[in-house]
Homo-oligomer: A and B are copies of this chain.
Amino acid sequence: MKILVVGANGQIGKHLVRFIQDSKDHTARAMIRNPEQAAYFKELGAETVQVDLEGEIEDIAKAAEGVDAMVFTAGSGPHTGKDKTIMVDLDGAVKTIEAAKQAGVNRYVMVSSFDTTREAIQAAPESFAPYVAAKHYADEWLRATDLDYTIVHPGALTNNPGTGQVQAAAKVERGEVSREDVAAVLFGVLENDTTIGKEFQVIGGSVTIQEALKKI
């Protein structure tokens, strides 16, 4: 399987591309914004493609040509302006969904936020609510498509090393999860078609990722 990783240069994205390349069964195409970001991926033997998420759907669709699945793990991040929340986390995500359709890529895995429900938007602190809203509408857009989607809702992200063990279900207690484990979950999702059409929250835990995904 060839997988387009959107937001490959993020921390989750970097782990994910590494897992994909290490697997031998699959290959990654890393979608990056700047050519300077390419070295890491070339070293892993992954393809790279340079596309700005704020660009045209057609450019993203071209980047997705010939892949079997797409993973969206881009995020505007805490250091970009507030404008980027809607332009990247919502509009950028929607454009990749539309690009997947255009390119005939049926499998789409979305890295969402832990809770993107209406209730979560209302309950969020004022500074965080726009991000939750952006992810809410991106998730809604994806759910309304015919794509074979999975939506992953990770808890509070840490840079701890992965443990390979998590807790995953439609609803779990709020908690932390390492970015490396989230990447491993994404890889597991790509390998498990039983996760198609489903979404789940995931935090650190004591069940192997394989086991956890089987029960989704």
Tell me the A residues contacting B by CB distance below 8 Å: 55-57, 81-83, 85-87, 90-91, 118, 121-122, 126-127, 129-130, 133-134, 137, 144
Contacts and interface: CB of A to CB of B under 8 A. Distances in A.
Which of A55, A57, A118, A130 has the most chain B CB atoms closer than 10 A to its own CB? A130
A122 B57 CA distance: 10
Nearest to A95: B118
B83 A81 contact: no
A44 B201 CA distance: 52
22 contacts: A55-B122, A56-B122, A57-B118, A81-B82, A83-B85, A83-B126, A83-B127, A83-B129, A83-B130, A85-B86, A86-B86, A86-B90, A86-B130, A86-B134, A87-B129, A87-B130, A90-B133, A90-B137, A91-B121, A91-B133, A137-B137, A144-B144
A90 B91 CA distance: 12
A171 B130 CA distance: 32
Q: How many copies does the complex hold?
A: 2
Contacts of A118: 57
A137 B87 CA distance: 12
